[in-house]
Amino acid sequence: MSDSTTARTPMVFASPARYVQGADAIDSAGESIQRLGRSAMIIADDFVWNMAGARLTDSLARNGIEHEYVRFNGEASGAEIQRIAALANEAGYDVVIGFGGGKTMDTAKGVAEQIAAACAILPTTASTDAPTSALSVIYTDDGAFESYRFYDRNPELVLVDTALIAQAPPRFLASGIADALATWVEARAVARAGANNMTGGKPTILGTAIAEKCEAVLFEHALAAYRANQAQVVTPALEAVVEANTLLSGLGFESGGLAIAHAVHNGFTALHGPIHELTHGEKVAYGTMVQLVLDRAPSAEIDRYLRLYLALDLPVTLKAAQLDGVSDADLHRVAETALAAPESSHNVAYALTPTDVVWAIKAVDGLARALDA
């Protein structure tokens, strides 16, 4: 019998308790949320609240759920989580609802963990794979990446209204596609390296298979979904891509693992200036290309990714990424941040130096410019 010092790391698969998706799903949100409790705090920014807050509160009221709105100030920081948690503690809510984008959702998860309440996530864009996971990406109050914060459980509910998402700017859907396209590239690297996933366990067959399926769905439906979003209509292609961006990518990254793509994203946050105008997914798109270069991916695969990114107007040149004229010193800052322990860049089967990462960043720029010429 082995003791605790020789025990193998177990495989772990994590997921939310319930996932609901469809057009106008927000109008029946109360039916799902009442399973979790009878009082709720809603965290949202002004834009989301003015757009659809009345529809959500009407649904809660119809189902007998007391509720209060708390304004999200815009940054998923430790200070913001503490501020809202202090308000929630006073009222003793059963449920914390994160209603909006990725940083709103990450804040809601942090608040729910602190007050030991159920967590319901209602994304209004399909721009990240944050909704389903048991973690938050925490930033400083100035917007620089600080850490991943891990929780004991995944959200009890993720509810996605595809009609709302169809009304959002297509840039957000494209950003979500970029974030989701990193899923398989990173998960397969984690599997090859025998590294751990985001739960601290080994990837399961299912977690890795979901990551691979995520890529297949996106390459099949991404452009048609993008066009549907431009027309503000819900189509089968849009439904498929929203599910891939949210559920498949969420389960795939958490249970499959992260690697270089997201580490490079985190490296970019160390810079100041216009790069902070990019979304999470837009920075991840560049990071995915960096990983493909460092992974020695076949030229055909690199071209396939680049062509889809360019068709979706994603930034895969230094100029498009707001880094035109960036100095080597700044690129080394990006690389050093991306390689700092315990970054996910270490979940690959080869060693890296900052110079390797800088050269890969420059190589992606050259490849993309040549293809886009």
Name the maximum alpha-carbon separation found in the chain.
63
Q: Is 332 a catalytic residue?
A: no
- 3-state secondary structure (DSSP) of residue 50: helix
- The structure tokens listed for 91 are 């009222």
Percent of the chain as helix, strand, coil, to the nearest 5: 55, 15, 30
Choose the catalytic residue: 129, 161, 280, 295.
280
**Is 179 marked active-site?**
yes
Task: Say which of 45, 265, 295, 330 is annotated catalytic.
Answer: 265
**Residues ≥6 apart with Cβ < 8 Å to 325:** none
Active site includes 3? Answer: no
Contact, 160 vs 20, CB < 8 A? yes
Measuring CA to CA, which residue among 160, 210, 155, 207 is closest to residue 17?
A: 155
Active site residue 272: no
DSSP at 24: T
The DSSP result for 276-309, as a single string, is GGS-HHHHHHHHHHHHHHHTT--HHHHHHHHHHH
Tell me how crowded residue 330 is: count the other CB atoms within 10 A of its CB: 18
Selecting among 67, 106, 129, 262, the annotated active-site residue is 262
- Count how many residues are written for the chain: 373
User: What distance in Å separates the CA atoms of residue 42 and residue 349, rounded to the nearest whole number?
Assistant: 43
Q: Which of 179, 295, 330, 365 is catalytic?
A: 179
- Catalytic sites, residue numbers: 179, 262, 265, 280
